[in-house]
Structure 1
Amino acid sequence: MQKEIKHTADYLKLIRSKGIYSFTSEDLLLNVPKSLINIRKDLDRLRAKDEISTIRKGFYTIIPIEYQNVGGIPIEFFIDHLMIYISKPYYVGLFSAAMFHGAAHQQPQAFFVVANAPKPRNILYNDFLLSFTERRIIPTIGIEKMKTDTGYFNVSGKELTFLDLIYFENQMGGYNRIITVLQELSEGIKISKMKEALKNDFPISTIQRAGFISENILENSKLAGVFKSKLQNSQYKTVLLKPAGQKEGEFNADWKVIVNIQISSDL
């Protein structure tokens, strides 16, 4: 225990000087020489002065003066610490990952995190939704480390983001919401990295849809070729382009896809 620490505010000043913006109840109990009841009183006072924010039970963030006008620090500043705290493998993905890769026209209305099942509850943070999407087997290939003022966080690379957006297209609002992002991502995708990303646990149907979109919507034959190679030794069945859509449409024999939705890009 640090000798200079007498109150919760002292501990927060110390960790802030080290570039740490988040803390837990356990941290306080270990470092602040007060009872849990008195620590909670300290937290109430700090919260009333907008100096801290409660993210979920037992997990808090410091709100420095420079962030008080916007209600708190960016989520990427504390997401890694939060996911370690709740013991969940994760990565920032989908529209949020696309934004960090410069492939989103505007900031998403939510901050999207992919975690292994069962997913944590969504969190409302400063009127901004921290949205969790679950995978039974979370991908381990194609995840990058991105630096922030507080350290690093996990984010899906362009290739994994591309696949995830197709896999989760319904949750993301449908193809016409994701197609422009897919187009922008595809322009920076590296074929070698896409081959690696495909080693993750994706259904064959996702690869069929990715191939069809790459060839026929994005007109990216090199990218389509990666998906075609992946399917070469697979016995794949006919699938709907949009799984939740109607079961009628033009049949694409190359990818065994029933085109049951019209997709248009803004680009």
Structure 2
Amino acid sequence: MSPSAFTAAAQRLVKKHKLATARHEFYLIIRPEDRNRGAPDPARWIDPLMAHQGIDYRVSLLRAAAFHGSSHQAAMVFQVVVPKQLRSFQIGRHQLQFVYQAPEIFEQVNQLDWLDKIKTPDGFAKVAGIELTLLDCVRYFHKASGIDGVAQVVKDIGAKAAPRKLAMLAGFYENSSVRRLGYLLDLAGHQSQSKALEPFAGKAKSFKPLDPAIKPILGNSGVDEEKNVKWRLTIHESVEVDF
């Protein structure tokens, strides 16, 4: 078929809900079992999609947390960390969200030793390892259900993190994010993992809020504010997790 004939035929199949378009010139075959959701699970096609676009990636945040055993995370959004600004999109009932990480950092942390694989009937998808998932969640906490959501992930999977690997990867992330993770690991009782991050707290020059989304009230006497000296963090509100 000529390119124009193929495009016309593909568009007819899209209208009949037998194909779906994930990106320009990238089509998904909708099998009968996928029709209720409008498209197959993104884990089945994210790898060829990113290869089609020539962009490296890793599945991370809440979807990665669920993969590693954080049962509290429904992972309604399929979150992918990439070194390029990409627009998020919805296909059928699936919502894909692309989270930007600076290329120089992405290149250093997106290594096979620090990644895992989601196996599917069609192949595999690259997913952040446990340590990278924890750091991504705390770095991009606003996309991971906030500090409470991250605390839940830390409680659920933090004990599985290798302390030495966690400390090595933490060197590529902002010091404040690492300190927040250390505090949440302490809170969850994962002592060996939190201890591996203690040297980062020693480099801190100022206190940072545990939750930057909470703005302190002007004139507050400080009654509801706690200073965590160990991690050099200001705690404006208690963290809530399910047990």
Task: State which of 139, 148, 152 in structure 1 corresponds to 2:120.
Answer: 148
For residues 200-215 of structure 1, the aligned pairs below 5 Å read: 201-215=172-186
> Using the alignment, how far apart are the partners of 2:152 and 2:94 within structure 1?
23
The match for 1:244 is: 213
Question: Of the two structures, which has the highest relative contact order with CA contacts closer than 8 Å and spacing of 6 or more?
Answer: 2
Task: State which of 147, 163, 171 in structure 2 corresponds to 1:175.
Answer: 147
Aligned residues: 230
The match for 1:52 is: 19
Question: Which secondary structure state, in structure 2, belongs to the residue aligned with residue 187 of structure 1?
Answer: helix
> Using the alignment, how far apart are the partners of 1:205 and 1:197 within structure 2?
14
Task: State which of 66, 76, 83 in structure 1 corresponds to 2:43.
Answer: 76
Compared with structure 1, are the counterparts of its residues 73 and 167 closer, same or farther at alpha carbon in structure 2 (3 Å cutoff)?
same
Q: Is the 8 A contact 1:204 1:236 kept in 2?
A: no
The match for 1:8 is: none
The match for 2:76 is: 109
> Using the alignment, how far apart are the partners of 1:154 and 1:189 within structure 2?
18
The match for 1:16 is: none
Displacement after TM superposition at 1:192 (Å): 3.3
Q: Deviations over 1:31-81 (max 9, x none)?
A: xxx222211221123223322111122111112233234322110111011
Question: Which secondary structure state, in structure 2, belongs to the residue aligned with residue 205 of structure 1?
Answer: helix
Q: Is the 8 A contact 2:65 2:73 kept in 1?
A: no
Q: Identity, % of aligned pairs?
A: 25
> Using the alignment, how far apart are the partners of 1:147 and 1:127 within structure 2?
21
The match for 1:133 is: 99
Q: Deviations over 1:173-230 (max 9, x none)?
A: 321223222200113222233233324x200111111112222x21222111010134
Q: Which residue type is aligned with residue 264 of structure 1?
A: E
Question: Which secondary structure state, in structure 2, belongs to the residue aligned with residue 124 of structure 1?
Answer: strand
- Give the TM-score, by structure 1 length: 0.79
Question: Which secondary structure state, in structure 2, belongs to the residue aligned with residue 244 of structure 1?
Answer: coil
Does 1:223 find its partner at 2:190?
Answer: no
Question: Which secondary structure state, in structure 2, belongs to the residue aligned with residue 144 of structure 1?
Answer: strand
Q: Is the 8 A contact 2:37 2:94 kept in 1?
A: no
Q: Deviations over 1:123-156 (max 9, x none)?
A: 1111221011111132324222332212221101
> Using the alignment, how far apart are the partners of 1:251 and 1:66 within structure 2?
53
Kindly name which structure, 1 or 2, has the bigger radius of gyration based on alpha carbons. 1
> Using the alignment, how far apart are the partners of 1:168 and 1:94 within structure 2?
8
Q: Which residue type is aligned with residue 221 of structure 1?
A: Q
Question: Which secondary structure state, in structure 2, belongs to the residue aligned with residue 71 of structure 1?
Answer: coil
Q: Which residue type is aligned with residue 170 of structure 1?
A: H
The match for 2:87 is: 121
Question: Which secondary structure state, in structure 2, belongs to the residue aligned with residue 133 of structure 1?
Answer: strand
Q: Is the 8 A contact 1:53 1:60 kept in 2?
A: yes
Displacement after TM superposition at 1:231 (Å): 4.4
Q: Is the 8 A contact 2:58 2:127 kept in 1?
A: yes
Displacement after TM superposition at 1:259 (Å): 1.0
- Give the TM-score, by structure 2 length: 0.86
Displacement after TM superposition at 1:237 (Å): 2.5
> Using the alignment, how far apart are the partners of 1:69 and 1:43 within structure 2?
20
The match for 1:13 is: none
Q: Is the 8 A contact 1:53 1:62 kept in 2?
A: yes
Question: Which secondary structure state, in structure 1, belongs to the residue aligned with residue 35 of structure 2?
Answer: helix
